[in-house]
């Protein structure tokens, strides 16, 4: 118990961190654009800082010990006080160690001699130089690093530091002697990328030649493992749904952390050994890895999918809330991992191991900034990812609906309603003006932020151009003054015995004791125009902490870039070839992207403008719903501002003028009816002309009520109980129905729940047949008690079967042979697939009847049922076949030649399948059959044989070897917006029942042609979409194209299984008639009174007739 209590107490100590993380991440999530740009700019400044620093160090790039050691000598009592050459790095115990450093200056040093001031605490001893323009020092080995650091830059003798302010105004530069590496008498400084790359390759070769083979093998393995970590990151993100960009963003975030860490480390005065960094960084990447961003990404993406699945259409979590919930869930675990890793690195930074201290110090800062950027920069990137996913899904749904024949307006309306997250309620202001929404919230400050960024860059460039007037003329030619050096100092590779003895004798004169001397290659110096460096206060305690490392990078401590003016350093670094090319590429991409976005915005604005011209301003009023009987409560149900019906009627000419001027909404109902009667306005165009679908439906009902061409049959239509108010006819127009006069409320019942493949579902059924839902529920209960239903998807492919004819039988046979060949299949598939982003041809089956060839195309259509997109593909494929494949004499008889076969009973659908081919089955114990279904297993098996097998065969049925599969299929089709006519082939089903060895009932239904979709058709209507949402299959599936439609087919097959089981049980027990009489005939049967002839006594209708008569008199009729 004590251990458990201590664990809980430790967890509670970490709990306050989670709100802090959520608060910090919320800023990044609400303003992701600002966050990404701001952090990118900080990282860019850090890169400039590091770049300037290492450009400064390039002049002294060879000051590392590994590249300077050449010859080593020892003298002691064992050598009889004679100098003896030994291998480099060998040393005597208890012996003094000196390093002979030669400073080699060119002839110009006579005119501008260097001013060498070596600190006394370094104990550097000047030796007699062999040449007048060289200086020689014997430096104790323990002080070598600081000595090399102190001579990396030497001022020119006589230069006055007090003139720095004036110099900073006039270009900000002063000449200094800068150490470089004398290689055969030449010192080269280059700012060209190829030259710099060549130098680095030479350095790498030199290091590899001096390294041990085992060390080289370890480094090769380390770098291979590091790149393996990168590849693993890429594949991990691919498995999460991002092909490239999330992996790239993760690497970019870590790179930013690396630059920021180097900037801070050098600002604190800690030297950075590039060689040590290159050796240790791969192992840091391998050990740390990228598990933390992968963990956060996995939770964010999975949470977004779950949030969309659980959204019932009434409310939706925003993108920000999903990301922040993931931070709250996983943030604490990630913080613990970072804390542990940083703690270990801090211990290494305070260890006594030289080299390890600097690397651990830098690595700790890298992890610290990686932690900061993970919950700021990377969370903003995740917000972008979810927003891009939302946009992609919106476009995918709209494109799929348009390819399936739905109008652009209806497709866009459905796509907007299916968006996740849905726009906030405050998207539109009180004045009706809309504001742009991104990331589930209103966009705030984007425009001002962009203007500020552009203004800042513009000001920087103006200042940069203005500063050109104050620059020295020499700066426009070159930043550096390259000089040719001559090798004047002693080179250990060319010294003879007497010259070496002269140097060693001076060292021995310092004291007769055991001594080790290393003679380095000479250091060359060049005269450069360097920016003035100001003292840095940062090189304090941290610099002294790590300054004693003899293996450190002997550059400029404290960071040279931090000592001069940062603004000028940024502008100068923009001259870097790599950075300038990157900026140019970014500029080109930005210009192209803005051009594309401008065209898209212009197209969207034109579309919105054209639709708004015909749209009347809507007054928001309480929505009224219809009662159980389908009757609409009248009142202020209309959503439009009606014109004043009591105004003086306009003449026909005036009405026509308003119609031409696209001001039809100003006309009264009577005037619109008159225009329709005169043939000036077609009733089918009312929605398009008025811009108000509800009013168009109302006027159409009035027109039909006054139409006496069918007698008095339609007289009551206007005020009938067929509702028409409070319905979204925008979804219907151009998608579902024409000449709309209202909608029919249909009762919807719920059966179940039913366990299907381990998942529970409620089954929505729209029907007017009593007992059907109750019977299906009873079957669901029995199946659940047996462990649930199991389904298998056998095939998936919608078909279209055109017929084509040829002049001769020989040509028709040649076409059939070609279509059946691999070449023909590939050609037709390429032509078919080019017409759609979603439809993909699977196979082609042909049949020849005389000179007529029937071609059955079978293809997948994603989550749409897809008949229209298939027809487009078939037309294009046949066109390619006729024009490009040598069948010029082929004539297309019909795109649909009944070889599909659609909406008709046909054996080919039963044999070959059409749509989704599903088999569903379940095993129900015998005791469940008796207790729930009130019959025995034997009775069910016998009834199934006699009824579904023999009875259907006697009737000559095709695919009808079942009890009532069409009942369940039709009810589900009506509830979920499927095509009811396709119930003909979708109800193809054979029900099988067998008794198992343990006395249980094994029942299966095989349905080879279930034709369903979750996108397009009636599924775009909100009520039907709500039922699809109830099943969790609305719209497109995040698990892949077509998964929702396949899942719906499995649900339908399982529901049919339940219905078959219940009905057969009722028949076996003799309860069918009894149950129907109990549920459907509970009241005594009475003769329905025959209605009397209809008389129009409606005052409103009479008033309208009087108005029309008055109009006729006015126009002279």
Q: Which two tokens stand for residue 263?
A: 């900037």
Q: How far apart are the C-alpha atoms of 459 and 1022, rounded to whole Å? A: 53
**Buried b / exposed e across 925-940, counting CB within 10 Å, b at 16+?**
bbebbeebbebbbebb
Residue 557: half-sphere exposure toward Cβ, Cα within 13 Å = 27
985 belongs to the catalytic site:
no
Tokens at 91, concatenated: 């040393």
| Cα distances (angstroms) measured from residue 511 to each of 94, 498, 506 | 14, 21, 10
Cβ partners under 8 Å of residue 812, min gap 6: 805, 806, 848, 850, 851, 852, 853
Residue among 762, 774, 832 at smallest CA distance from 1076: 774
Question: Does residue 422 have an active-site annotation?
Answer: no
Residue 1083 burial by CB count (10 A; 0-12/13-18/19+): exposed, middle or buried? exposed
**Alpha carbons 424 and 168: distance in angstroms, whole number:** 55
| Contact of 791 with 1054, CB cutoff 8 Å | yes
Place of tokens 């990686």: 370
Q: Are 872 and 404 in contact (CB under 8 A)?
A: no
1073: left (phi over 0), alpha (psi -120 to 50) or beta: alpha
In DSSP notation, 913-939 reads --EEEEEEEEEE-HHHHHHHSSS-HHH
Q: Give the pairing of strands 84-86 and 96-104.
A: unpaired
Greatest CA separation for the chain: 142
Instruction: Determine which one of 730, 757, 1076, 1105 is catalytic.
Output: 1076
Please report the DSSP string for 636-667 in residue order.
Answer: S---S----TTSPPPPHHHHHHHHHTT-GGGS
The angle subtended at Cα 461 by Cα 458 and Cα 463, nearest 5°, is 110
* Of 404, 407, 339, the residue nearest 367 (C-alpha): 339
- 769 carries an active-site annotation: yes
| Dihedral angle over CA of 779, 785, 787, 790, nearest 10 | 0
Q: Provide the 3-class DSSP secondary structure of residue 186.
A: strand
Helix, strand, or coil (residue 1002): strand
* Catalytic residue from among 769, 875, 939, 1105: 769
Q: Closest Cα to residue 873, out of 897, 839, 900, 898?
A: 839
The span from the CA of 1085 to the CA of 1096, in Å, is 31
Q: Which residues contact 807 (CB under 8 A, 6 or more apart)?
A: 851, 889
Q: Which residue has the tokens 């060049």?
A: 526
Give the phi and the psi of residue 547 in degrees, each rounded to 5: -75, -15
**Whole-number Å distance between alpha carbons of 25 and 334:** 14
CA angle 895, 901, 907 (to 5 degrees): 150
Is 317 one of the catalytic residues? no
Are the CB atoms for 329 and 306 separated by under 8 Å?
A: no
Q: Which residues of 354-373 are buried (b: 16+ CB within 10 A; e: fewer)?
A: ebbbbbbbbbbbbbbbbbbb
> Cβ distance 1103 to 663 under 8 Å?
no
Which among 481, 903, 995, 1071 is annotated as catalytic?
903
SS (H, E, C) 602-642: HHHHHHHHHHHHCCCCCCCCCCCCECCCCCECCCCCCCCCC
DSSP of 450-476: HHHHHHHHHHHHHHHHHGGGGS-GGGG
CB atoms closer than 10 angstroms to residue 353: 9
979, 994, 1022, 1105: the active-site residue: 979
- Catalytic residue annotation: 769, 903, 979, 1076
């Amino acid at each position: 118990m004590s251990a458990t209590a201590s664990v809980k107490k430790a967890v509670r100590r970490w709990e306050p961190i989670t709100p802090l993380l959520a608060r910090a991440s919320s800023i990044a999530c609400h303003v992701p654009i600002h966050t990404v740009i701001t952090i990118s700019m900080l990282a860019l400044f850090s890169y400039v800082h590091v770049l300037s620093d290492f450009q400064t160090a390039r002049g002294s790039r060879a000051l590392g010990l590994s590249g300077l050691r050449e010859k080593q000598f020892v003298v002691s009592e064992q050598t009889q006080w004679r100098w003896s050459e030994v291998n480099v790095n060998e040393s005597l115990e208890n012996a003094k160690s000196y390093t002979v450093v030669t400073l080699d200056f060119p002839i110009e040093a006579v005119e501008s001699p260097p001013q060498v001031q070596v600190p006394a605490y370094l104990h550097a001893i000047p030796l007699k130089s062999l040449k007048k323009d060289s200086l020689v020092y014997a430096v104790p080995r323990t002080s070598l690093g600081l000595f090399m650091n102190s001579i990396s830059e030497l001022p020119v003798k006589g230069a006055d530091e007090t003139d720095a302010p004036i110099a900073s105004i006039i270009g900000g530069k002063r000449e200094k002697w800068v150490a470089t590496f004398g290689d055969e008498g030449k010192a080269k400084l280059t700012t060209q990328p190829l030259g710099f790359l060549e130098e680095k390759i030479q350095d790498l070769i030199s290091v590899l030649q001096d390294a041990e083979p085992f060390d080289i093998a370890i480094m090769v393995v380390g770098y291979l493992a590091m790149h393996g970590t990168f590849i693993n990151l890429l594949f991990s993100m691919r498995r999460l749904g991002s092909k490239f960009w999330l992996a790239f963003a993760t690497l970019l975030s870590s790179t930013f952390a690396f630059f920021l860490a180097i900037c801070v480390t050098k600002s604190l005065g800690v030297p950075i050994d590039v060689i040590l960094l290159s050796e240790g960084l791969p192992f840091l990447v391998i050990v740390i890895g990228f598990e933390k961003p992968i963990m956060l990404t996995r939770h964010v993406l999975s949470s977004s999918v779950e949030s969309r699945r659980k959204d019932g259409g009434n409310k939706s979590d925003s993108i920000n809330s999903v990301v922040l919930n993931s931070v709250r869930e996983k943030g604490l675990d990630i913080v613990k991992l970072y804390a542990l890793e940083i703690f270990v690195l801090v211990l290494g930074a305070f260890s006594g191991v030289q080299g390890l201290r600097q690397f651990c110090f830098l690595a700790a800062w890298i992890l610290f900034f990686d932690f900061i950027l993970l919950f700021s920069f990377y969370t903003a990137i995740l917000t972008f990812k979810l927003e891009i996913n939302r946009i992609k899904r919106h476009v995918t749904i709209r494109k799929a609906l348009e390819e399936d024949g739905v109008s652009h307006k209806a497709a866009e309306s459905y796509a907007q309603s299916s968006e996740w997250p849905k726009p906030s309620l405050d998207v539109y202001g009180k004045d009706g003006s809309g504001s742009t929404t991104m990331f589930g919230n209103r966009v705030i400050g984007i425009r001002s932020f962009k203007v500020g960024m552009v203004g800042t860059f513009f000001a920087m460039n103006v200042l940069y151009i203005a500063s050109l007037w104050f620059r020295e003329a020499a700066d426009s030619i070159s930043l550096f003054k390259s000089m040719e050096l001559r090798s004047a100092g002693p080179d250990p590779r060319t010294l003879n015995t007497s010259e070496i003895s002269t140097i060693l004798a001076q060292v021995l004169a310092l004291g007769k004791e055991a001594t080790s001397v290393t003679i380095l290659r000479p250091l060359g110096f060049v005269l450069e125009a360097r920016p003035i460096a100001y003292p840095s206060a940062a090189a304090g305690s941290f610099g002294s902490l790590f300054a004693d490392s003899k293996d450190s990078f002997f550059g400029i401590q404290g960071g040279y870039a931090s000592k001069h003016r940062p603004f000028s350093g940024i502008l100068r670094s923009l001259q870097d070839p790599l950075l300038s090319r990157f900026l140019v590429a970014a500029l080109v991409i930005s210009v192209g992207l803005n051009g594309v976005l401008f065209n898209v915005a212009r197209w969207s604005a034109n579309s919105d403008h054209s639709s708004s011209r015909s749209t009347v301003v809507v007054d928001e009023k309480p929505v009224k719903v219809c009662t159980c009987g389908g009757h609409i409560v009248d009142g202020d149900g209309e959503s439009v501002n009606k014109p004043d019906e009591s105004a003086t009627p306009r003449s026909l000419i005036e009405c026509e003028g308003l119609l031409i001027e696209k001001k039809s909404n100003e006309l009264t109902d009577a005037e619109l009816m008159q225009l329709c009667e005169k043939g000036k306005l077609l009733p089918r165009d009312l929605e398009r002309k008025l811009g108000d679908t509800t009013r168009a439906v109302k006027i159409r009902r009035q027109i039909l009520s006054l139409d006496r061409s069918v007698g008095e049959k339609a007289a009551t239509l206007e005020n009938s109980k067929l509702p028409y108010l409070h319905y979204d006819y925008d979804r219907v127009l151009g998608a579902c129905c024409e000449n709309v006069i209202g909608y029919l409320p249909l009762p919807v019942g719920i059966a179940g729940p039913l366990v299907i493949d381990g998942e529970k579902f409620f089954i929505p059924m729209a029907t007017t047949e009593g007992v059907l839902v109750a019977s299906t529920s009873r079957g669901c209960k029995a199946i659940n008690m047996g462990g649930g239903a199991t389904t298998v998807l056998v095939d998936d492919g919608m078909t279209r079967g055109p017929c084509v004819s040829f002049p001769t039988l020989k040509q028709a046979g040649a076409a059939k042979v070609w279509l059946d060949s691999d070449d023909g299949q590939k050609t037709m598939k390429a032509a078919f697939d080019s017409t759609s982003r979603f439809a993909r041809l699977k196979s082609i089956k042909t049949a020849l009847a005389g000179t007529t060839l029937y071609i059955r195309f079978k293809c997948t259509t994603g989550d749409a049922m897809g008949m229209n997109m298939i027809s487009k593909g078939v037309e294009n494929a046949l066109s390619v076949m006729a024009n490009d494949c040598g069948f010029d004499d082929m004539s297309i008889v019909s795109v649909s030649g009944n070889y599909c076969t659609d909406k008709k009973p046909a054996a080919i659908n039963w044999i070959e399948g059409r749509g989704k081919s599903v088999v569903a089955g379940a095993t129900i114990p015998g005791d469940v059959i008796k207790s729930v279904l009130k019959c025995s297993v034997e009775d069910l098996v016998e009834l199934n044989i006699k009824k579904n097998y023999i009875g259907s065969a006697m009737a000559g049925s095709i695919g009808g070897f079942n009890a009532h599969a069409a009942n369940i299929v039709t009810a589900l089709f009506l509830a979920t917006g499927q095509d009811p006519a396709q119930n003909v082939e979708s109800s193809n089903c054979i029900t099988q029942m067998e008794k198992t060895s343990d006395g249980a009932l094994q029942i299966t239904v095989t349905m080879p042609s279930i034709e369903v979709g979750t996108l397009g058709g009636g599924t775009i209507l909100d009520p039907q979409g709500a039922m699809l949402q109830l099943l969790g299959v609305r719209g497109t599936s995040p698990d892949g194209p077509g998964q929702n439609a396949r899942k719906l087919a499995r649900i339908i097959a399982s529901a049919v299984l339940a219905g078959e089981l219940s009905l057969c049980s009722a028949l076996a027990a003799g309860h069918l008639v009894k149950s129907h009489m109990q549920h459907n005939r509970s009241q005594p049967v009475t003769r329905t009174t025959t209605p009397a002839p209809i008389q129009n006594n409606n005052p409103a209708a009479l008033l309208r007739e009087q108005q029309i008569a008055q109009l006729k008199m006015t126009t002279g009729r």
